[in-house]
Structure 1
């Protein structure tokens, strides 16, 4: 089901393909640079996807995923408005990172500044070979405000993030994969197709397990080892008690579910 333009002034498109919702950044003439209104439109689409789908994909229309913050808007903001805008980005990106369904980002062209912050809020990132990554805040006289100091730093490490911000260094998809910021690298033009395939696969998982991966796993990473292990035991026990888990385990034991295969064998 395609719903065309959605959100403020058509800044975001929305499409439902089976159990997967596709959310498209739709400002290609500006390389999908995002503003507060744009983030609000993303939030509305994410809320809808959570209600209608079991997984989501975020992609950019045109050759670029997102070239970051719309500096023409940001440069005119009073101080407290800038604080409130940043906190809105945090709330909406947190809906993606720690919500109810997994999200995959399909990355091509510019994945810069706020665009990288948005991609970092998704659980999986598929980049084609045209994708390039940068954090030019040092050169702009600003600082990341969309959660990058937490999410991007945890993906690639604070020293590497600091390198990108201090020097304006640009990385390609394969190098960013080596750094841990990209989950999959595919040929140019294939990011969206692969992202939809991966999202569809995650949509077949047990809903409680997906929820636990999105919400328990990052919290456990923030805990001490002992607290993390205790929390793991609680979540693991809850997961096995769900009716869906019981049925899936019966299916496996009674040979109605496939065994795990080595890479390339299924």
Structure 2
């Protein structure tokens, strides 16, 4: 299904050439993730790789990127343990489609990136924070536990000990400290969206097969034993490094006409 035919009441979708911009659109709820929003994320990220999308920028409407699980919905639903297990599985479905689809996903963050909002952001391949952005996992203080992949992705970013500290004590990271511990790769003074679009425009210049490998194979390989990972990496490299789309780039390098890899201030 083409992304422009999807009915996405909680998401706004726009296009700039090959770049799709996905905007969380529940600002009155600080873009908290209810069950319907998760289903819409599944629908979009399931369709995007087959819709000619070369990169995706994920942003939010309002002062906050995402405050996490819609706790009001959760309280009102009076879910059983089995009910909530299935809710969590849908979250995993959405976030796995983001991480493993092979399309670069760049998150433009602002305000709260909290609880399930951090689980959502950690499923993106690149995270850009602005000066207002702060990261937290307040599940311990709410009497909750993460259910959308934080034990996999957030722990992978910051390490087990830091994640436990965040959950036990409510510790908040922001600014350069958030970059230093791995919660985001970029910190800007002005618009995180503008920076995210700049990165997306750079990414779509790569051959799609290279981006597919970067944005899917690395995550898969991280789940393997060292021996299996070595084999998988060799197979992926064999396919990607002999693609026809690389021939002109390799020829330019061989002829010394390719752009040099060097810091921009040199």
TM-score bracket for this pair, using the shorter chain length: over 0.9
Q: Deviations over 1:165-198 (max 9, x none)?
A: 000111113211110111100014x100100110
Aligned-pair CA distance for 1:5: 11
Alignment of 1:68-217 (within 5 A): 68-75=68-75, 76-188=78-190, 190-217=191-218
The answer on whether the counterparts of 1:12 and 1:45 sit within 8 Å (CA) in structure 2 is no
Who is 2:265 aligned against? 264
Cα distance in 1 for partners of 2:147, 2:111 equals 22
Question: Structure 1 stretches of 5 or more lacking a match?
Answer: none
Aligned-pair CA distance for 1:224: 3.2
Who is 2:249 aligned against? 248
The answer on whether the counterparts of 2:45 and 2:101 sit within 8 Å (CA) in structure 1 is no
Who is 2:19 aligned against? 20
Bigger mean CA offset, 223-232 vs 18-27: 223-232
Who is 2:38 aligned against? 39
Aligned-pair CA distance for 1:214: 1.7
Question: Structure 2 stretches of 5 or more lacking a match?
Answer: none
Cα distance in 2 for partners of 1:48, 1:232 equals 27
SS in 1 for 2:59: strand
User: What is the aligned-residue RMSD (CA, Å)?
Assistant: 1.9
Aligned-pair CA distance for 1:15: 0.5
Q: Deviations over 1:211-266 (max 9, x none)?
A: 1112221222233333322322221111122111223212332345312122434x
Are the structure 2 counterparts of residues 226 and 48 from structure 1 closer, same or farther at C-alpha, using a change threshold of 3 Å?
closer
Who is 2:10 aligned against? 11
Aligned-pair CA distance for 1:48: 4.0
Cα distance in 1 for partners of 2:173, 2:90 equals 28
Cα distance in 1 for partners of 2:79, 2:252 equals 57
